[in-house]
Structure 1
Amino acid sequence: MQEVENKYVETKSLSEQGLSWGMVSIHTYIKIAVIAAAVFLVFQREIYIVVSKWINDSSWSHGFIIPLFSLYFINQKKREILTTEFKASYLGFAALVFCIVAYSLTLFVYRFGYFQNVMIIPAIGAMVLFLGGWKLVKYAWLPVVYLIFSIPLPAKFYNDLTIPLRAHDAQIAAFLLNMVKGLEANASGVVIDIVYNGVKLEPGLDVAEACSGMRLLMAFLALGVAMAYLHYRPWWQRLILLGSTIPIAILCNVIRVVVTAFIYVLW
């Protein structure tokens, strides 16, 4: 099996010799630049909002890395992209116009901020379809969709997700703490009340929003998708890899809460 993989890597490296993005014509790069500039001008307000969130909110600081991963994914398909003849699709142009109209509706009529930000992604997808047709979409769809991990969730929705996660972590942490002699722990919502050697510790240990595990969950999901995409494995193995990211993220966060509780007790 290892020999087959080595031969595959060797064959791939040989086939990629002499292939570079410099092979793409200047005319194509000009088209990409013009359309990308137009999309940027339309969505510059949303791009500014999203990037500001990356800078000011540590929960979304990973947003800077996501576009780099997307570019890396595209580079991994360099051989296929450079050796395929693409044809522009005017359906992509129609889709791009539709995205701009839908964005305008969310901006001036419905005023739903999250969808205003999300519309950047289908607009990029429409741009890809317009430039290279469905053949290019075949190689670029996942790098484009992957950008969804960089779009911050609405604050209310994000908070609604963190509360049950915090309560869940508090329950598990309390259960594990009760297994230690001399410790009694009781979880009430997101607060763990701890009694150590008959003395109740005040105040109770609050599982804060930063300890909800959402950051770990988002990071693990993004990493899981990247690994599933980059590894040449059967689809069921990729699904297992992707599905395992959620319990692993929850487990890591529970361990963090339990360790924090022990530090709180013994400090």
Structure 2
Amino acid sequence: MYNMELTSFMELIEVMKLIELMELKTTRFKRSPFGHILGLTIVCLLIIFLYKITLLWMYDRYTAADSYYSHGFLVPLISLYFIYQKRQQLQLYTQQFSMLGLLLILFALLLHILGTVLYIFSISGFSIFFLTIGLSLFLFGNQRTKVIWFPLLFLIFMFPLPMTVISVIAFPLKMMAAKAGVWVTSLFGVPIYHEGFNIYIPAGHLLVDNPCSGLRSLISFMALGSIFAYVAPIPTGRKWLLFLLTIPIALFSNFIRVPLLVQASHYLGLEAAAPDTIIHTGTGILVFVIGFVLLLTSAKVLE
């Protein structure tokens, strides 16, 4: 434990020395595109070196079975696209430095050390979020950072929550999904009842597990809804309303899926709606389509 803390502290000192060196070199290259590209490349390499274990953990979370963050690979690409769209507006402001950015960098690195010492990689992951904002403020200033505020904040959707937090959130969602599934299915005359997350029909027993809670759809639709709200030509208040509407839209879409799976299990057998089957996968795609249409409709109505 002591060696890990010492190693993290020494890495922090080395990173701060390199940042100070970059600040001194920026004056020479500040008007040169090559200087900017070189500086950003060095920063990215430093982040990869400092966070290599955390980045591998994030990759495992993205590619895991029943991942809640399979969209994580797309998030930085979307942020870069929105930053690229702002390139002409960014040129209107001169390059400045913000001490607030330096404080955020220090805070992020301390979070990284804390996450490394405690072996809580989610803390280290979210420190990358604060580090990115801090670097933007420190290297480019307040004005340029304000121009790209959304692409920077959008990065929050690429950092996985701890599985403990996901389990806590998924618990009430699973309960609501089970109750909704039982209620809707009973309207069609199917004998059904539930005990907790267990649903019983004449064909057998079904379990509403974490992937069926709707949390995966909720996380994805919140990311998608933030993009819709950002690009929609509506006032700020309506943008926030559109973003918040993603929550009931995601939950409603998932509540449709559970009765469909129960009906398929009742009429076609339990194996027909088991995980990795066409029906199970197809209803998942249907949930996304329904949610996307509802989100798009909401955006048009608010316009």
State TM-score, norm by structure 2. Answer: 0.73
- Matched residues in 2 for 1:230 and 1:100: separation? 33
Distance apart, 1:78 and its partner CA:
2.0
In structure 2, relative to structure 1, the CA distance for the partners of 1:47 and 1:24 (3 Å cut) is farther
- SS of equivalent to 2:191: strand
In structure 2, relative to structure 1, the CA distance for the partners of 1:56 and 1:111 (3 Å cut) is closer
Whether 1:32 and 2:40 are equivalent positions in the alignment is yes
- Matched residues in 2 for 1:24 and 1:135: separation? 20
Q: Could you tell me which runs of 5 or more consecutive residues in structure 2 were left unpaired when the two chains were aligned.
A: 1-30, 269-303
- Residues 75, 157 of structure 2: 8 Å contact kept: yes
- SS of equivalent to 2:69: helix
1:248 match: 249
- Residues 24, 82 of structure 1: 8 Å contact kept: no
1:201 match: 203
Say which of 60, 68, 86 aligns to 2:95: 86
- Matched residues in 1 for 2:251 and 2:54: separation? 31
1:231 match: 232
- The AA in structure 1 aligned to 2:84 is N
- SS of equivalent to 1:52: helix
- SS of equivalent to 2:193: strand
- SS of equivalent to 2:141: helix
Number of matched pairs:
237
Say which of 76, 87, 91 aligns to 1:67: 76
Distance apart, 1:40 and its partner CA:
2.2
- Matched residues in 2 for 1:55 and 1:131: separation? 33
Write out the 4+ residue segments of structure 1 that deviate beyond 3 Å after TM superposition: none
Distance apart, 1:84 and its partner CA:
2.1
2:60 match: 52
Distance apart, 1:49 and its partner CA:
1.1
- The AA in structure 2 aligned to 1:178 is S
Identity among equivalent pairs (%): 27
2:121 match: 113
Distance apart, 1:90 and its partner CA:
4.1
- Residues 39, 123 of structure 1: 8 Å contact kept: no
- The AA in structure 2 aligned to 1:185 is I
2:177 match: 169
Distance apart, 1:228 and its partner CA:
0.6
State TM-score, norm by structure 1. Answer: 0.83
Q: Could you tell me which runs of 5 or more consecutive residues in structure 1 were left unpaired when the two chains were aligned.
A: 1-22, 195-199
- Residues 115, 122 of structure 2: 8 Å contact kept: no
- Matched residues in 2 for 1:240 and 1:92: separation? 30
- SS of equivalent to 2:51: helix
- Residues 191, 206 of structure 1: 8 Å contact kept: yes
- SS of equivalent to 1:205: strand
- Matched residues in 2 for 1:230 and 1:217: separation? 20
- Matched residues in 1 for 2:113 and 2:196: separation? 41
1:10 match: none
Residue range with higher mean Cα deviation, 136-145 or 91-100? 91-100
